[in-house]
Chains A and B, each alone.
Chain A
Amino acid sequence: MDFRDVKNIEYMNQGDYACPGCGAGLSMRHALKVLGEKTIIVMPASCWSIIAGVFPTTALQVPLMHVPFATAAAVASGVKNAYRKKGQDDVNVVCWAGDGGTFDIGLQALSGAAERKEDIIYVCYDNEAYMNTGIQRSSATPPGAWTTTTPTGNPLIYEKKDMFNIVASHNPAYVATATVAYPDDFYMKFEKAKNAKGFRFIHLLSACPPGWRIDSKDSVKAMRLAVESGMFVLMEKEQGKPIRVTYKPERFIPVREYLLFQGRYRHLDENTINEIQIRVNERLKDLDLL
């Protein structure tokens, strides 16, 4: 799908509670443009628990169910099975979770749903920490990053959990990484996920201006630098096919440019930046990108 073909129709109401420059709000807006009105959103605790609005208002024009933190994939399984039993199998049941609800507390339910090949779409908008509670480290926080629970930087011995491959090892119908900063790639992947049958997973990198210590106007730029530096690789895997990188920069920029663009990395010394660059290079080599 060419993103210029996307209809000028909104499924998000004006006046949501997202911070200025929030990647998660922007991602939902565009995801729904592809998914359309036959979509039900299941939402565990996350920034979106607030973005969605305070009773009696709501930010969404599609059915939405808020659920406890660890339960999104299981609740969505129940919703989808119910709809199938009602004879309405054409409804997109979508988990919309943050990195905490996906990489950490929701991982068991996610793995269970993926293993059972539940016919749901699981979207993780990853802003790389518990942002809603005030920027605490998650297992999606990259090494070196400042958070309020890693005040001197996330220990280098840690490595950001590789959700793409964790989910891919369940052999789902579709798994992809994306970011709304590359809208054509983003739309293409949501379109593929929508049209596939079975378990589908999209990992979105989602900038958080307060948590990443960037200006709200620089949100899209930060997400682009992540991709251009190779810190975040845009790729996908359809069932039965190899991993495919869907966007490769002409030339990767140094990770330093991505890191020092953000306040959360500004304390890093040269050795640490070099170590991060080495790890990124190794990963890019593994993917035949270097």
Chain B
Amino acid sequence: MVKDMVLGSEAVALGVKLARPKVISAYPITPQTHIIERLSEMVDNGELDASFIRVESELSAISAAMGASQAGVRAFTATSSHGLALMHEVLHWIVGARLPVVLVNANRAIGSPWNIWTDQTDSMSQRDLGWLQVYCETAQEALDTVLQAFYVAEKVLLPIMVMIDGFILSHTLEEVVIPTQEQADEFLPPYEPEYFLDINNPLSFGNAAKGDVFYNLRKDIQRSMEASFGVINEAHNRFDDIFGRRYDLIDTYFIDDAEIVFVIAGALTGTVRVAVDKLRNMGVKAGLLKIRYFRPFPSDLVRSYLTDKKHVVVLNRSLSFGSAGQITQEIKNALYFEKDKPFIYDYVLSLGGKEVFVEDIVKLALNIDSLETSKILWRE
């Protein structure tokens, strides 16, 4: 175990290397490119015994990863923004085929107009497919989550998308504890699927299925999603035992006595933590609930923390046009049956990398009585 200063993207690459994937297929796109540059170096210099396929598009990147996974090996790809959108059809197919592909998405806006900076529109647009989704706050969390992702995906037989914010996490140096390969191997056993493209046991995968069969296959996906909570918790416990770092489906900060709780996912959580500190120093009872797993959505946990709160300000970095911020929808959904609900504010904090300062969050709390709950709230 060593400590080093690494970029968020490099932390991802280190996590991938420790997971020993056999096939990596990828296509460059800002701000993800550092991940695959680092991985191709590792493959070329022999640090990582994998095949690196330099495909001609993101559609082929995810397709090759799917093929490798169906052939029975651990497969990885990374992308961002337009790349993730281009993968959409195959993202669906991977879920239906029940393949545990791990994908890291560097969150970035999608055009038009062109914009390379961060928001969560890309991954939120893929929320309904059956991929598990995890949003990371720090480089350490990114590295650790990649390792956990392979463990969870291979037990649940569903793919996982791990999100890091473009630039504010992918391109930022942070201190990271890098696990040893021995620790990683102890945590993550080799991938040995029961069913795969096996010439000794020839099976057909994906043959046309009629409605009754298809319906049940989709029901199984939802059941696996529900069962994945147990697997995720088990992964977090194992991870804590081996690495001494504790994770949960969500994270909280000063939440117990908070009257105003901010809800956020991703690297801007750090900015909100500082704002909470500042508000506490001013005597305002502010707190934070960080969404780590967005799929499956940890409604029970969210409910247990938010039910008795006065104000919940949901800080979205994407929205479903014509409806609401996607995180707000989930929070409202989780609290719907509660008798005493908090005021829930649907705030669009940032899109396309619009800068967010600590003061923006502080001001929100100070002006909480002037905020409306009946409509989407926008910044000036």
- A interface residues, Cβ below 8 angstroms from B: 37-40, 42, 49-50, 52-58, 60-68, 70-71, 73-86, 88, 91, 108-109, 111-112, 115-116
Given A77-B64, A78-B63, A60 contacting B55 (CB threshold 8 A): no
- Whether the pair B207, A82 counts as a contact (CB closer than 8 A) is no
Residue of B nearest to A118 (CB): B53
Interface centre among A82, A91, A116 (most CB of B within 10 A): A82
Asked if B70 lies at the interface with its beta carbon under 8 angstroms from chain A, I say: yes
Q: Which residues of A contact B224 (CB under 8 A)?
A: none
24 CB-based A-B contacts, threshold 8 Å: A39-B199, A42-B67, A52-B208, A54-B210, A64-B207, A65-B70, A65-B197, A67-B206, A68-B89, A68-B93, A74-B25, A75-B64, A77-B25, A78-B71, A78-B75, A79-B68, A79-B197, A81-B51, A81-B68, A82-B22, A82-B75, A84-B51, A109-B59, A115-B56
Asked if B203 lies at the interface with its beta carbon under 8 angstroms from chain A, I say: yes
Asked if B322 lies at the interface with its beta carbon under 8 angstroms from chain A, I say: no
B278 to chain A, nearest CB (A): 49
Q: Which residues of A contact B72 (CB under 8 A)?
A: 82, 86
- Whether the pair A67, B93 counts as a contact (CB closer than 8 A) is yes
The 8 closest A-B pairs by CB, nearest first: A78-B67, A66-B206, A112-B56, A74-B60, A78-B64, A82-B71, A74-B63, A75-B67
> In the complex, A37 Cα to B202 Cα: how many Å?
9
Q: Which residues of B contact A73 (CB under 8 A)?
A: 60
A-B contact count (CB 8 A): 162
> In the complex, A39 Cα to B197 Cα: how many Å?
10
- Whether the pair B71, A83 counts as a contact (CB closer than 8 A) is yes
- Whether the pair B23, A63 counts as a contact (CB closer than 8 A) is no
Residue of A nearest to B67 (CB): A78
- Whether the pair A78, B53 counts as a contact (CB closer than 8 A) is yes
Q: Which residues of A contact B197 (CB under 8 A)?
A: 40, 63, 65, 79
Given A54-B210, A71-B60, A109-B60, A66 contacting B68 (CB threshold 8 A): no
List 14 other contacts, CB 8 Å, given A37-B202, A38-B199: A67-B67, A70-B59, A74-B60, A75-B67, A77-B25, A78-B66, A79-B68, A82-B51, A82-B69, A91-B199, A108-B60, A111-B56, A112-B57, A112-B60
> In the complex, A63 Cα to B65 Cα: how many Å?
18
- B interface residues, Cβ below 8 angstroms from A: 22-23, 25, 49-51, 53-57, 59-61, 63-73, 75, 89-90, 93, 197-199, 202-210, 213
Interface centre among B54, B68, B75, B89 (most CB of A within 10 A): B68
A143 to chain B, nearest CB (A): 30
| Neighbour of A66 across the interface among B59, B69, B71, B207, CB < 8 A | B207
> In the complex, A260 Cα to B53 Cα: how many Å?
47
- Whether the pair B205, A66 counts as a contact (CB closer than 8 A) is yes
